Amino acid sequence: MKIEIDTHSHTLVSGHAYNTLREMAHMAAEKRFKGLAITEHAPKMPGSVGLYYFQNLRIVPREMYGISLLLGVELNIMDAEGTIDLPDHVVEGLDISIASVHTPCFAGERTKEVITQAYVSTMKKDCVDIIGHPDDGRFPVNYDRLVRTAKETGTLLEVNNTSLSPVGFRANTKDNVKEMLEYCKKYEAMVVLGTDAHVDTAIGEYQYAMEALKETDFPEELVANTSLEKLRACLKRSR
């Protein structure tokens, strides 16, 4: 299976990543990818950028070193109501959006019911394309309900390579990802493979995500980012 575009990466402006936008684009081109999504942390993540950064992304070229850039955001899911930390109309103006639960930002209780409800509420938003790393045992999820809602709303679920790697800090990720993938097969829900690269060398490195797909015998047709066109067609914003 070949992945043409990495859907999840961060640059210096996210506050805890280490390369510029140009360096990230250059590495993606060197690794023969056709595209790269740069998805900076939204404003509530400590150390990240503010509203104007996202509003002004329109001035940045969408092609560099011969590859396509999708410039977007990784939103913070703030509570069980699915509150996100940028206005919907700003997110709609970007090329791609991920929404994720992060420890410094999530205000709700960390029970399976509350976390699942938070994801379900978030997926009902038209401006949210992808749920990022719903694999963290510290934020337990009802995967049956998560995947059914993803299918109903046309939201993509992410298999996050960083979560699965030995440097990952999230809990019980491998078993959680495999459970999610089994339900994706059952309901024919689409996934994306994201590296969540915070440094240029991590772009396009999918070793652990690929292992999880192999171990669950996951069908390639349910992976959205095997081509740039397929990915674009799978984003809610292209409807």
Q: Under the rule (CB under 5 A), what is the footprint of Zn ion?
A: 74, 100, 132, 196
Q: Between residues 18 and 187, which has the closer beta carbon with respect to Zn ion?
A: 18
Strands 97-100 and 67-76: parallel
Residue closest to Zn ion (Cβ): 100
- Amino acid letter at 80? A
Beta carbons within 8 Å of 22's beta carbon, 6+ residues apart: 64
Tokens of residue 155, six digits = 């939201």
Q: Between residues 135 and 196, which has the closer beta carbon with respect to Zn ion?
A: 196
Q: Between residues 74 and 135, which has the closer beta carbon with respect to Zn ion?
A: 74
* Shortest Å distance, C-beta 188 to Zn ion: 26
Q: What is the DSSP letter of 55?
A: H
* Shortest Å distance, C-beta 144 to Zn ion: 23
Q: Between residues 48 and 100, which has the closer beta carbon with respect to Zn ion?
A: 100
Rg, Å, the chain Cα set? 16
CB-CB contact of 208 with 164 (8 Å): yes
* Shortest Å distance, C-beta 133 to Zn ion: 6
* Shortest Å distance, C-beta 36 to Zn ion: 13
Closest by CA position to 128, among listed 163, 157, 162: 157
Rounded-to-integer distance, Cα 158 and Cα 131, Å: 6
Q: Between residues 4 and 196, which has the closer beta carbon with respect to Zn ion?
A: 196
* Shortest Å distance, C-beta 170 to Zn ion: 9
Rounded-to-integer distance, Cα 234 and Cα 239, Å: 8
